Amino acid sequence: MALATVCAVVAGCGGSGAGRHTDVPAGIPASLLAGLRTVGRGKRFLPPATGPVLGGCRPRLGRRAESHVELFAANHVVLIAAGVGTLAPRQLEDARVVKARCFGLVVTLDPTGIVYVRAGAVATIGELFRSWGEPLSGTRIASFRGRQVTVYVGGRIERIAPAAVPLTPGAEIVLEVGPRVPPHRAFTFPPPPPAAMR
Please list the pLDDT of the chain residue by residue as tens digits (198 residues): 343 433 432 323 333 334 444 455 666 666 666 667 898 888 999 999 999 999 999 999 999 999 999 999 999 999 999 999 999 999 999 999 999 999 999 999 999 999 999 999 999 999 999 999 999 999 999 999 999 999 999 999 999 999 999 999 999 999 999 999 999 999 999 998 876 677
Query: In angstroms, how far is CA 26 from the centroid of its own chain?
Result: 27
What stretch of H or E contains 125? helix 125-132
What sign has the CA pseudo-torsion 173, 176, 182, 188? negative
Predicted pLDDT of residue 11: 28
Predicted pLDDT of residue 33: 61
Cβ-defined contacts of 86-94 (< 8 Å, 24+): 86/49, 86/53, 87/53, 87/57
Q: How many CA atoms lie within 13 A of 187 on its CB side?
A: 24
